Structure 1
Amino acid sequence: MTEKWVQVALDVPLSRSFAYGSGGLPVQPGERVLVPFGARRLSGIVLSVDADAGDYAGKTRAILAAPGDMPALPEDVLRLCRFVADYYHHPLGAVLAAAIPVVFRGTGIFVPPQPEARFQAADPVALLAGIGPRAHAQQKVAQLLAAPVSESALRAAHASALRWVRDWQAAGLVQQLAGIEAPAPALQLGTQPELNAEQGRAVAAIAAAEGFEPFLLYGITGSGKTEVYLQAIARQLEAGRQVLVLVPEINLTPQLEGRFRARFPASDIVSLHSGMTDRQRAINWLAAASGRAAIVLGTRLAVFTPMPCLGLLVIDEEHDPSYKQQEGVRYSARDVAVYRARQRGIPVVLGSATPSIESWQNAMARRYTLLPLHQRAVKGAGLPSIRLLPVKKIRASEGLHPLAQEAIERALAAGQQALVFINRRGYAPVLACTECGWMASCKHCAARLVLHLNERRLRCHHCGFEEAITPSCPDCGNHDLQPIGHGTQRLEDIVARQFAGARVLRIDRDSTRRKGELDAALKQVHDGDADILIGTQMLAKGHDFPRLSCVVVLNADTGLYSMDFRAEERLFALLTQVAGRAGRHGQGGEVLIQTMFEDHPFYTQLLDGDYARLANRLLAERQQLRLPPVSQWAMLRAEAPQLERVQAFLSAARACFPVLRGLTVHEPVAASMTRRAGHERMQLLIASDSRTVLHQALDTAVPLIDALPVSQIRWSLDVDPLEV
């Protein structure tokens, strides 16, 4: 075969591709290849193939192999990755590496499992006729077998489903089909609830969309946004198209997957998130890329998944900052998803009870179609009542206001559940000396060590450093060291003492570290085996607890005096989400927020429940102060063991920017956390009212910054930063 010149993108910190000879292999753009790189052997993605090597003839090394274990990335995914690399000013090779499963980034060859077996009833009527009238679970499985069903779908339907199918197969009632070559199953729908008028209008609008159209589904908590997604998705599946659904957190994926499987029992549904094994993620990714998976549920990394028949994109809780990647290529999965929908010419639905100010601005400017849901989906269910509990003058008994205790007691007496919410892990945020005021601090960060009393450890939640609890003050020798403040562990102890006999369950990152612990805890809540929940923001999003009627919020005031201009927006979203867990099923809900600042105007708007008013006010303030999204920002961050090195690097980087009208390059300043993991941290803000001007400046400056000496310096560029 004729030798060709191949351009390959590699996951190296260089903003260029590399030329190789084809080695006679018939490679194509998007294909994974193994190449020599210095003394190493790397995996890369082919960008282009040219019959004429030109000036590279005789000077390039040849690719070593084309494993063929990964389908070539389609042109639309390659173009999407090029856009991300250009917009976020990051090497294309690193973007492509982030877009594919981990098993394809190395030099090993991935061997997928044998195609999954599928089953179908030889005679659906005869199969059902032979099942007893009281065997409801078997009847449900038999109904699925009217069309080809995969092993995984059967396992999801019932734990004993495969055993029953094997028995029916032995009796000649069911036949096994070939794996992925089996015909696609006909769409089967589980029970579809009747939509209210607002939900119906939303589904109709999404279904009527022709080509690219972004929708902002603005619905109060409990308004049935997920039901709108499900019925809009059903329309796409009926037309033979695939759907990508993004969620902000890993812990939401299993619950959502269960609901989707119940609605679409015969459809292939796969999940993609970082909590999966590398092998399982690769298997699911291949199912999506082949077109076999009808629905993909995933966190931000799923936004790049190849889907040949993609017809709809859904971004649930679109306001959530978890969609922004904070390491490597710092992309926003929400923004990339909208761009991908535009690129493919398909509708995209962004859903939230508290939309981001960016999305709200787009809706107000009619760039997005606003679909409001003002009422709760369950008949008779209204929004919970919200009250403020001033704690400035009334002593809270070990953290809980007397009225909060009474509210919890009322919920328990009525057979309902209560949630005590505090967004702080550990036993106490500070361990201090009562004599001299010493406080336990991290040796590597500008932060206090959090007391974890159960483990007898002091732990930094930023760098992971930990040490044993000191028996005395290292400054004055005093043995009277006291915890200050409350965390989930301390609150768990307090609540267990105050409500003797109540079953108290703590759900936070510490209590759900091992695989399966979170699912087990949530099952405990749904089964009614817990009376009082103690939790962090892990419980604030997406969960539907039918018996939860009372929510008590502690420590909400910290968001009111933050240096971050997004603090009010984020606090409103968090409190709205937490409050929205109560009273979702018509039993009435009560939310009590303990505060030192009950007269703060923020709480007035929260009690009104009018997010639109708050969003419009914040948007007007940002217009006046030229803050995002009115202004376009990029943040150049740097860190090193010595502060002088960081200052010198950022000063040199600042000089790399051109002088452009409408561009402001600020002086280097200390980061909000000045020291982390032993490194001094500073940042440089680049701002402009024009996105074009900002990127023109970055196009000029980034190559020059790349060329600066960076001994012991780590730096990164963050376009559209969320953390300031």
Structure 2
Amino acid sequence: MHWLSVLVQTPAHSAVAGPLTYQSELPLAAGSLVRVPFGTREVLGVVWDALDAASLDRPESEIRAISAVLEGVAPLTVAWRQLVHFAASYYQRSLGEVALAALPPQLRDLSAAQLARRLKRPAGGAVDSTLTTPDLIALSEEQVRAIARFDAEAGPFLLFGATGSGKTEVYLRCVQALLERDATAQALVMVPEINLTPQLEARFRARFAGRYGEAAVVSLHSGMTNPQRLKSWLAAHSGVARIVLGTRMAVLASLPRLRLIVVDEEHDPSYKQQEGARYSARDLAVYRGRLEGAKVLLGSATPSLESWHHSRPAAEGGRYQRLEMPSRIGLGSVLPKVRLVDMSLQPKKTVFSPQLLQAITERVARGEQAMVFLNRRGYAPVLACSSCDWKSECPHCSAYRVFHKIDRTLRCHHCGFTERVPRACPSCGNVDIAPLGRGTERLEEHLAEMLAGVRRPNSVSVQWPEGAPLRIARIDADTTRLKGALESQLAQVHAGEVDVLVGTQMIAKGHDFRAITLVAAVNPDGALFSADFRAPERLFSLLMQAAGRAGRDAAQSAASEMWIQTLHPQHPMFAALRRHDYPAFAAGQLREREQAGLPPFSYAALVRAEARTQAVAQGFLNAASAAAAAMEPALAGYAQVTLFPAVPMTIQRIANVERAQMLIESPSRAALQRFLSAWHAVLQATRQQPEGRGLIRWAVDVDPLAI
């Protein structure tokens, strides 16, 4: 009989958080996938290690046997298991939770017999001779230099390239060189959002499917069906897939011959998981590259301040190599001119300044396209009564329900609670209830009213009657709910069937709109004075990315513009934005953070607690902090960390659950990690005390993005 240490999926706060012991008649290699009994269920497990009889923690007669081995799936590699172990340890989660969450959901549900039948299906790896490899475009001098340095140096690399500078072509060339050099090598290319995956996948398929086969390029993201995810995962795990394109979940995919990792738009907050194991896919990509000897290429026009800081000269302590491509592709291509409109000089309640409306009208008259950006969906963020203090508050959350005019509903964007718009004020009966503020739905309606008299010119490429009204389209989470809706709407924009595009950040990054020459940000001031120290960084990045959608066609780039309507045109951030000077903006932000002792000059973690009352949530956190102070000499790392008092979260109640948080800071990453590891047992014990009664859950968020 053989004794095995097996991981199953258990949450970090569970009493059963480590590997479990099972017996097997046959020896199994570490990394093998098995089905094991767990309570009254049978679940998927990963063999983590072999045990000897002397190390068993209970009598042999009490140890259950594994139910089946998943034949036909090679054991997960040592490097993959090391990656999972690091992620679980660093982000303070259980090994089983991280390991099993990294596997496709359908694999967790299939029995051994069902998986055997699934593996008999053809993989489709044959090369299609009808597919052709497109001719390669000529590279710019900056692209050539970046690729040469990438080939010659070890990395990791930060590719700092302006929007439209050809970063995607650099990714393609680096992947192509790898596949030509190594017949078995695999590459992982990550993007921040699902809606960016199809267009990137199309470019990679066009470049590589003709030479390596359709199955050589696969996608991995949560928008796929479970069978699709299983098929892609098996192709990557077996080595059939040479290129894997995916979102943050793909960083934990099994790629046994991984030699290159590309993280596009590495600054994007979407790379940070916000549920379960709160890992940063960007940071794990860098660690995985070092672990597996794979080169790592991070790319962005507005890098995160952490990556920018790490890419400073090696003499100053930098760990990344910075590759720069400041120019746009194409003869005469320039970045759009940034124009600021001082809204304090406009009449009150002005939404679109006359100057901006005139600029949009001129673009449409020339057959060009414009884009209007507002990062708030819905018709209005709140519905209010003019006679009393009633507002459309959510009864289950400490937030307002958003008014959606298209279906006459009030919808909470946090818990999903939806009701029809009342005919009169529920508090006083007044029928005069009106929307306050604007979302993209209201912005689209208002823009249509303001431009009602504008007519579109005749077009050769798109058939419409000359003098027809211009067409305004809106792209946000509400208009793209149905499968295929986003692709259809983007195709209309690319085909020239849309004159003015209105949307949220979904349209502000990653898309290659060739006819858009004007981008307008209507109300970006909210983040300028936010309590979150990362808000200016996120706003600058979003506005730079939005500006990058304009003038991507070299013939029109000289006339492209980015309009920003603001009440604070003298703000230093806008001065850097007008010059497209990210280095100056980053230098200023880093100086402020160093003076304040904020990341990347310190390290932080948040402990979040959820309960039915705020008193219980905060009481649990404060009790755990007091317990740590009481045992200070024995608690590793305590002397080098600062624990702040528990406070409610910004939105303190969601779905009738109260939420509180406690911030922990340290100048030493190692000390913070030592403390969190030692404090875990204290948190577990505190939950069993009176202070922990009524607690629903707690979780640790290491390197949080929002504080």
- The answer, yes or no, to whether TM exceeds 0.5 is yes
* 109-118 vs 80-89, greater mean Cα deviation: 109-118
Structure 1 position 719 matched with structure 2 position 702: yes
Asked if 1 retains the 8 angstrom alpha-carbon contact of 2:648 and 2:661, the reply is: yes
Task: Say which of 657, 671, 674 aligns to 1:679.
Answer: 657
Shift of 1:399: 1.8
Shift of 1:116: 4.1
Asked if 1 retains the 8 angstrom alpha-carbon contact of 2:209 and 2:217, the reply is: no
User: C-alpha separation between the residues in 1 aligned to 2:240 and 2:54?
Assistant: 38
Measured against aligned partners, the alpha-carbon deviations of 1:219-246 in whole angstroms (never above 9, x if no partner) come to 1111111111111111101012211001
Counterpart position of 1:168 = none
The letter of the residue matching 2:340 is: L
Shift of 1:306: 1.6
Measured against aligned partners, the alpha-carbon deviations of 1:671-696 in whole angstroms (never above 9, x if no partner) come to 11111111111101111000111011
Asked if 1 retains the 8 angstrom alpha-carbon contact of 2:192 and 2:248, the reply is: yes
Shift of 1:205: 1.2
Name the SS of the counterpart of 1:90 in structure 2.
Answer: coil
The letter of the residue matching 2:21 is: A
Structure 1 position 319 matched with structure 2 position 267: yes
Residues 51-90 of structure 1 aligned to structure 2 (within 5 Å) = 52=53, 54-55=55-56, 56=58, 57-68=60-71, 70-90=73-93
Counterpart position of 2:459 = none
Counterpart position of 1:644 = 615
Structure 1 position 553 matched with structure 2 position 521: yes
Shift of 1:321: 0.3
Measured against aligned partners, the alpha-carbon deviations of 1:682-713 in whole angstroms (never above 9, x if no partner) come to 10111100011101111111122123225442
Counterpart position of 2:164 = 222
Residues 73-112 of structure 1 aligned to structure 2 (within 5 Å) = 73-106=76-109, 108=111, 109-110=114-115, 111-112=118-119
User: C-alpha separation between the residues in 1 aligned to 2:164 and 2:393?
Assistant: 42
Residues 251-262 of structure 1 aligned to structure 2 (within 5 Å) = 251-262=195-206
Counterpart position of 1:275 = 223
Counterpart position of 1:135 = none
Asked if 2 retains the 8 angstrom alpha-carbon contact of 1:656 and 1:701, the reply is: no
Residues 365-380 of structure 1 aligned to structure 2 (within 5 Å) = 365-380=317-332
Counterpart position of 2:450 = 498
Structure 2 length-normalised TM? 0.90
User: C-alpha separation between the residues in 2 aligned to 1:489 and 1:378?
Assistant: 36
The letter of the residue matching 2:65 is: A
Shift of 1:649: 0.9
User: C-alpha separation between the residues in 2 aligned to 1:569 and 1:622?
Assistant: 12
User: C-alpha separation between the residues in 1 aligned to 2:519 and 2:347?
Assistant: 20
Residues 305-454 of structure 1 aligned to structure 2 (within 5 Å) = 305-364=253-312, 365-395=317-347, 399-454=351-406
Asked if 2 retains the 8 angstrom alpha-carbon contact of 1:457 and 1:469, the reply is: yes
Counterpart position of 2:572 = 601
Counterpart position of 1:19 = 21
Task: Say which of 506, 509, 521 aligns to 2:489.
Answer: 521
Counterpart position of 1:134 = none
Percent identity over the alignment is: 47
Shift of 1:309: 2.1
Asked if 1 retains the 8 angstrom alpha-carbon contact of 2:272 and 2:278, the reply is: yes
User: C-alpha separation between the residues in 1 aligned to 2:348 and 2:251?
Assistant: 46
Shift of 1:552: 1.1
Task: Say which of 559, 563, 567 aligns to 1:592.
Answer: 563
Residues 622-641 of structure 1 aligned to structure 2 (within 5 Å) = 622-641=593-612
Residues 578-589 of structure 1 aligned to structure 2 (within 5 Å) = 578-586=546-554, 587-588=556-557, 589=560
User: C-alpha separation between the residues in 1 aligned to 2:193 and 2:108?
Assistant: 24
User: C-alpha separation between the residues in 1 aligned to 2:45 and 2:265?
Assistant: 34
Counterpart position of 1:115 = 122
Shift of 1:277: 0.4
Shift of 1:279: 0.5
Counterpart position of 1:246 = 190
Task: Say which of 460, 477, 481 aligns to 1:509.
Answer: 477
Asked if 2 retains the 8 angstrom alpha-carbon contact of 1:221 and 1:580, the reply is: yes
The letter of the residue matching 1:618 is: Q
RMSD over aligned Cα atoms: 1.7
The letter of the residue matching 2:68 is: A
Compared CA separation, residues 378 and 521, structure 1 to 2 (3 A): same
Counterpart position of 1:465 = 417
Name the SS of the counterpart of 1:443 in structure 2.
Answer: coil
Counterpart position of 2:461 = none
User: C-alpha separation between the residues in 1 aligned to 2:419 and 2:69?
Assistant: 49
Counterpart position of 1:47 = 48
Counterpart position of 1:129 = none
Structure 1 position 299 matched with structure 2 position 247: yes
Counterpart position of 1:474 = 426
The letter of the residue matching 2:302 is: T
User: C-alpha separation between the residues in 2 aligned to 1:270 and 1:482?
Assistant: 49
Name the SS of the counterpart of 1:521 in structure 2.
Answer: helix
Name the SS of the counterpart of 1:265 in structure 2.
Answer: helix
Counterpart position of 2:455 = none
User: C-alpha separation between the residues in 2 aligned to 1:280 and 1:345?
Assistant: 29
The letter of the residue matching 2:579 is: D
* 657-666 vs 321-330, greater mean Cα deviation: 657-666
Shift of 1:107: 5.2
Asked if 2 retains the 8 angstrom alpha-carbon contact of 1:5 and 1:53, the reply is: no
Q: Any gaps of 5 or more consecutive residues in structure 1?
A: 120-147, 158-187
Asked if 2 retains the 8 angstrom alpha-carbon contact of 1:416 and 1:531, the reply is: yes
Structure 1 position 705 matched with structure 2 position 683: yes
Compared CA separation, residues 363 and 208, structure 1 to 2 (3 A): same
Asked if 1 retains the 8 angstrom alpha-carbon contact of 2:652 and 2:660, the reply is: yes
Residues 151-300 of structure 1 aligned to structure 2 (within 5 Å) = 189-210=133-154, 213-239=155-181, 240=183, 241-266=185-210, 267=212, 268-300=216-248
Counterpart position of 1:544 = 512
Asked if 2 retains the 8 angstrom alpha-carbon contact of 1:42 and 1:107, the reply is: no
Name the SS of the counterpart of 1:502 in structure 2.
Answer: coil
Task: Say which of 531, 554, 557 aligns to 1:563.
Answer: 531
Shift of 1:70: 3.7
Residues 645-660 of structure 1 aligned to structure 2 (within 5 Å) = 645-657=616-628, 659=632, 660=638
Compared CA separation, residues 397 and 704, structure 1 to 2 (3 A): closer
Counterpart position of 2:3 = 5
Structure 1 length-normalised TM? 0.88
User: C-alpha separation between the residues in 1 aligned to 2:120 and 2:645?
Assistant: 55
User: C-alpha separation between the residues in 1 aligned to 2:219 and 2:110?
Assistant: 25
Shift of 1:67: 2.5
Residues 127-142 of structure 1 aligned to structure 2 (within 5 Å) = none
User: C-alpha separation between the residues in 1 aligned to 2:173 and 2:40?
Assistant: 54
* 600-609 vs 199-208, greater mean Cα deviation: 600-609
Asked if 1 retains the 8 angstrom alpha-carbon contact of 2:641 and 2:671, the reply is: yes
User: C-alpha separation between the residues in 2 aligned to 1:15 and 1:569?
Assistant: 37
Compared CA separation, residues 358 and 118, structure 1 to 2 (3 A): closer
Asked if 2 retains the 8 angstrom alpha-carbon contact of 1:430 and 1:448, the reply is: yes
The letter of the residue matching 1:31 is: S
Asked if 2 retains the 8 angstrom alpha-carbon contact of 1:207 and 1:235, the reply is: no
* 664-673 vs 492-501, greater mean Cα deviation: 492-501
The letter of the residue matching 1:115 is: P
Task: Say which of 576, 595, 603 aligns to 2:544.
Answer: 576
Name the SS of the counterpart of 2:65 in structure 1.
Answer: coil
Task: Say which of 661, 664, 671 aligns to 2:639.
Answer: 661
Name the SS of the counterpart of 2:474 in structure 1.
Answer: strand
Q: Any gaps of 5 or more consecutive residues in structure 2?
A: 453-468, 633-637
Measured against aligned partners, the alpha-carbon deviations of 1:125-165 in whole angstroms (never above 9, x if no partner) come to xxxxxxxxxxxxxxxxxxxxxxx328xxx6xx6xxxxxxxx
Asked if 2 retains the 8 angstrom alpha-carbon contact of 1:423 and 1:537, the reply is: yes
- Give the number of equivalent residue pairs: 656
